[in-house]
A and B are shown apart, each in its own frame.
Chain A
């Protein structure tokens, strides 16, 4: 029969249709596919859970819009987790191609609309949390490695003013953070090499604990750093983001509500990725079964 042959030479557009549906459906109606929390992700969660209220963490936005689907939910989850635990958050951006807007957008997504220069400083999502005291956005700095080296004890030289142009000295949290020693750890949300710099420069030279949230494509590279102990935790791609989001949502139902209200979150991204991978895997297997059956038949036929 020619069904096998037809399967083998299936019009590729059917496959395109399935992939397209797999990308749209989970966004509109989440499938909530299971996630298995892995150790590198659990490490980050445990670290944040173990910090004392009032301690400061630094989140660096080292990616641009093209990897937003992977990195954005990591930023959301960690910022909200920290605020829910009454930690304080310092946000910076080092990625030249769009890191600065990513950081502002994710911050506003987490805390609600902000306009510090005109007085809108209290978070609408986290009542009582105030810009400049509980969280602050230092803005973007170019120069990568050089800036990171200088930040170790001259934070104010690198960032004289915050994102909105107000001198750091005018904010309580701004005054307090003079260098890496003032933060409990640095979390880098990275797309390219900047995350590696945090590990092999900042962690290696200044001993600052570093965690990285990287894209799936660069994950194997970062996994080697994690194994070598140069970073204490690692979120890799949509999978890592979904695992972390899951942990936080389990413990803090109020955060789960916020996350669920987003049109996009890591759980949905993970759904899309899992389904697309399953479709491709399935088709590869079908294609091979058809191929083997067909070849057998041809051999017998001759």
Chain B
């Protein structure tokens, strides 16, 4: 192993232990790691933004186009909108910085609204319009019950979200059922997610034992 790799392993182990020490309590090592983490990650994203966004999407097409292709002058507009964000530091024209925010928010709001209606409301509702008769529903009591549970669950949760009606009487009863469905879902999902979290921890343990302390031969990267 070359020096660079060894140094990276030792530093990596040091930082790993610094973060883990937070479990015991806040301490100077964690605070140090936290600061370096904030700094390095910010530096990383600066490099990343230039490498992945500015250079390919702005610098190349506008300033250094490959031979034979014209400059994309239109990119001056987004560049300008980007600069406008900084007018907030000049008191007199600070209000101009809102322009970029407004376009950005407006555009994505439009896109998201369509995505929610077309990609979520419609298909999720369609999946709930099922037949209790066809598709062998009656052939298998288990399937039939499952279908019923899905439909009742979706509808009762939707009733829970009604804001116009007070949770009393029938609406109250159904929305209570909706809450129970939510609780089953939350409990189950919580219990289930623990598995994924454990495997991340295993990854760190193996890094410390294998790569740093050098015990054993190879494992999870």
Which residues of chain A are within 8 angstroms of B201 by Cβ–Cβ distance? Answer: 19, 23, 272
Give a binary string over A226-244; 1 marks a CB under 8 Å from any B CB, 0 the rest: 0000000000011000000
Min Cβ gap A260→B in Å is: 11
Docked CA distance A60–B19 (Å)? 34
Residue of A nearest to B188 (CB): A220
- Whether the Cβ atoms of A66 and B200 lie closer than 8 Å is yes
Which of the 9-residue segments A36-44, A68-76, A136-144, A154-162 touches chain B?
A68-76
Q: Which of A28, A69, A216, A263 is close to B203, meaning CB atoms less than 8 Å apart?
A: A69
A262 within 8 A of B: yes
* Given A27-B206, A217-B193, A238-B195, A68-B217 contact (CB < 8 Å): no
- For A272, the chain B residues whose CB sits under 8 A away are 198, 201-202
A102 within 8 A of B: yes
CB pair A67 B199 closer than 8 Å: yes
B194 within 8 A of A: yes
In the assembled complex, the Cα of A217 lies from the Cα of B191 at a distance in Å of 10
Contact in complex: A70, B199 (CB < 8 Å): yes
Taking the complex as formed, is A123 at the interface, i.e. its CB lies under 8 A from any CB of chain B?
no
Residue ranges of A at the interface with B (Cβ–Cβ < 8 Å): 13, 16, 19-20, 23-24, 27-28, 65-70, 72, 101-102, 105, 109, 215-217, 220, 237-238, 261-264, 269, 272-273, 276-277, 280
CB closest chain-A residue, reference B221: A65
Cα distance, A67 to B209, chains bound together (Å): 18
B219 touches A269 (CB 8 A): no
Q: Are A263 and B199 interface neighbours, CB within 8 A?
A: no
Which of these, A16, A28, A102, A238, contacts B209 with CB under 8 Å? A28
Contact A262–B198 (Cβ < 8 Å)? no
**A28-B209, A263-B215, A264-B206 in contact; A217/B221 too (CB < 8 A)?**
no
Nearest CB in chain A: distance from B146 CB, A: 11
Chain A nearest Cβ from B17, distance in angstroms: 12
